[in-house]
Chain A
Amino acid sequence: MNLAAVGLGVAVAVGVLTALAAVVVPAPMRSTVTGAGTALTGAAGVVAGIAAMTGESFTVALPALLPLSGVSMTLDALGGLFVAVTGGVAVAAGIYGISYTRSHGLDARLVQAVFPLFVVAMLLVPAAASVGTFLVCWELMALTSLLLVVAEHRRRPEVASAGRWYAVMTHLGFVTVLVGLLVFVAHAADDSFPALREAGRQLSPGVAGLVFVVTLAGFSSKAGILPLHAWLPRAHPEAPSHVSALMSAAMVNLGVYGMVRVGFDLLGGGARWWWLLVLALGALSAVYGILQAAMSTDLKRLLGQSTTENMGLVLVGVGAAGLFATSGDRVLAGLALAAALLHVIVHAAFKTLLFLAAGSVLHATGTRDLDALGGLRPRMPVTTAAFGLGALAASALPPGTAFVSEWLLLQALIHGLPASGTTGGTAAAIAMPVAVAAVALTAGLAVATFVKAFGVGFLAKPRTAAAENAYESPPSMLAGMGLAGLACVVLAVLPTIVLPGVATAGSVALGAGESAVTGAVTLRLVGVVGSLSPLVLTLALVAALVVAAGAVRVVATRRARRVARRVVRLWDCGAGPLSARMEYTATSFAEPLQRVFDNVVQPETDVDVSHHEESRYLVQAVEYRRRVPDRIERRLYQPVLAAVAAWGRAGRRLATGSVHRYLGYGFYTVCGLLILLAVTR
């Protein structure tokens, strides 16, 4: 029997059973049951996804399950990639959640039961093969994640506000996706994906463009892309950490999945301006996201904004792939799409690791504020190592995990310039250098951001009592981090393991063709010149480190070798003792960058001076507050929200409270409808 079908079936069954068990089982065992069950669901999903990526696919139709449209599922290579990623993240998050939920008071029945259902919904979305199924699974995913985001609303008021933002924006996204897909279905025979594929070939450019843009709005909002990203830095920090990991590492990918499925597969490629729009949005999101992250002092908010940045990079790859595909260059399109999909996988691995480590810190210290952390290395060595590995991966430096996908992306962009022999026109000629510059600026800022997060948060001395009293996490949390870390390391040195599957997934979107990247130890590009071996690079670095350490030992004379290092006082210019207040904080670390990008970031400062009661010339206290607001929220959302509020107030005038008037409204509407029908028939 088909391994993909078995895997997905087992995943759904185990997930639903776990949800039921979480409701029934007594409180002490609930976390363990849910965590283990979710991990099993994830593992089955991974198996199904990998089986699909190797070419096995299956189709199942259950017309009786949903009224009017029925359930129709097809798992092909493209969907399989996202199913595998979701499954992998769910395994790590599930195991992590065993201890995390127990100690954070998150083991209420509803919260525990909804968690495996969230994973199941995310596993089903890439397998949907009809619009009805897709939308139902999408909405299920949104609802379950909403319930999980507001899980701690009794303990912290900010959670409620974040939940509201998330609820409104995810449902607005759902509505736009719904409208777009319905316009598409109106031109097709029925709502199944094969029928849409047929219709997509015959759609007029205007309608196709409309469908693409409307669905792009919804999918890009889910992926955290500008300008509809505002929910991400709010919801991801407030959710429990393992849920944040799932959302950031698995859920946002489904926005990318939707874009690739609708844009490439169903609509058949489309016009050049679509993909230029995607490229532009991606580049803007990448730069803006990492800029906000560089200014951020909240550890989880920083990670959420980094998700916006990484999804922006993925969209740059997808947009470039679309550009090359419409110009007819299948080789470069395959390369760009492979880079984008590889980045999805890689991002899932290191973002999970980072969020789980951040959750560990939150669990031990009770705070997410980088300005209050520090000195965690001696108290939480495993968490520090995990975050360090994740930070290396996120900054796209070798031997980190994201270096290879960023290299592939840059190779695709560089070879896309027309002078090097490929087609594309002036649009590509302008877009490619700008895209390379955006990716490069993002890379530089990401390095600064993660040096800040790791250096300020984990090294040196603790800045507050909370950080001083930190302790290492329980074993299941360490195990979850260890799994994610293992994935990061394997992907860093041997990304060629997943590349054949990525190529198969890409060929679903772009049409059959050979893989853009080949090789086992060395990545070799096909059709263009380029090769890189992350394994050899890592080995060379390790060898150089060993040689350097050995040489220093040999060269340093007997005095230096025999005597152990003398423990000395830090050099503080000889004056008084260094207190933790004198350490650099995250705010101060980012200050030069903030000054450079002042026009974009526009921080708001409040200075409150209170004078001595005796004299106006003596200052008693000065309070300084600096906030970095989201400019897009300020300029785009607030006017829209104000207009909606004004419209609502105007509409209130219609609701006077008189029953007669309401009956009158109903009567006149029915009359009007009847007249309209009579006239148009």
Chain B
Amino acid sequence: MLSLWRKIRRTGRVAEPAPPRPAAPPADRMPVELAGSVQIRHVDAGSCNGCEVEIGSAFGPVYDAERYGARLVASPRHADALLVTGPVTRNMAEPLRRTYDAVPRPKLVVAVGDCARNCGVFAGAYGVAGAVRDVVPVDLEIAGCPPRPEAIVEGLRKLTGR
């Protein structure tokens, strides 16, 4: 335990300073009720896990997306936004729809990565049902294959407004 305490003292703060706030999206696109607190439920609709690694990094100590009011939760009922990665495979189309249904209003969907936006490298594959916007309405897209953690954090800041 003592070694852990020494490590904490030595490491200190790891989180990088916050970059300037991104431009707020138009008011009719983002619900004002959220006001600095967005709970997020991540759904892997068929991704290669590259985006998941970057999301994990975004919520890690270095980029610390939590400081802007975003938090990952386990149940879509607790969530305000869905973070969807990967092209929507055929098996995941209905579960994604049901997850979207389970989120109480006002709700948002963020498509993370090129696969979520337009199937990326998997476009036209036999197991893919479509991009995320073909299954559920998308409110925000974050480009990249995989998107850098800074891009993901910037996208989340547009949601929370912090």
Contact = CB atoms under 8 A, between A and B. Distances in A.
A adjacent to B, CB under 8 Å: yes
Interface of A: 557, 559, 566, 568-569, 571-575
B50 interface: no
A559 B102 CA distance: 17
Contacts of A566: 104
Contacts of A569: 98, 101-102
Contacts of B104: 566
Contact of B96 (A559, A568, A574): A574
A566 B102 CA distance: 11
A568 B95 contact: no
Range, interface on chain B? 10 to 19
Interface string B35-48: 00000000000000
A570 to B, nearest CB: 9
Nearest to B100: A574
Interface string B64-76: 0000000000011
Residue of A557, A566, A573 most packed against chain B (CB within 10 A): A573
A575 B104 CA distance: 19
B162 interface: no
Contacts of B99: 574
Contacts of B158: none
B75 A571 contact: yes
Contact of A571 (B33, B76, B94): B76
Shortest beta-carbon contacts, A-B, top 4: A574-B95, A574-B98, A574-B99, A571-B102
A560 to B, nearest CB: 9
A575 B93 CA distance: 10
Contacts of A568: 101-102
A163 to B, nearest CB: 52
B107 interface: no
Interface of B: 33, 75-77, 94-96, 98-99, 101-102, 104-105
B101 A573 contact: no
B101 A575 contact: no
B101 to A, nearest CB: 7
Contacts of B105: 559
Contacts of B98: 569, 572, 574
Nearest to B94: A574
Nearest to A563: B105
A572 to B, nearest CB: 8
Contacts of A571: 75-77, 102
Nearest to B106: A559
Contacts of B75: 571
A564 to B, nearest CB: 13
A165 B94 CA distance: 58
Residue of A569, A573, A574 most packed against chain B (CB within 10 A): A574
22 contacts: A557-B33, A559-B33, A559-B105, A566-B104, A568-B101, A568-B102, A569-B98, A569-B101, A569-B102, A571-B75, A571-B76, A571-B77, A571-B102, A572-B98, A573-B95, A574-B94, A574-B95, A574-B96, A574-B98, A574-B99, A574-B102, A575-B95
A569 B101 CA distance: 8
A575 B99 CA distance: 10
A571 B95 CA distance: 11
A566 B77 CA distance: 13
A653 to B, nearest CB: 73
A643 B75 CA distance: 61
Given A569-B102, A574-B102, A575-B95, 4 more contacts: A571-B77, A572-B98, A574-B94, A574-B95
Contacts of B76: 571
A571 B41 CA distance: 13
A407 B76 CA distance: 43
B96 to A, nearest CB: 7
Nearest to B75: A571
A571 B98 CA distance: 8
A368 B91 CA distance: 41
B28 to A, nearest CB: 16
A571 B94 CA distance: 13
Nearest to B76: A571
B97 to A, nearest CB: 8
A571 B75 CA distance: 8
A638 to B, nearest CB: 50
A582 to B, nearest CB: 16
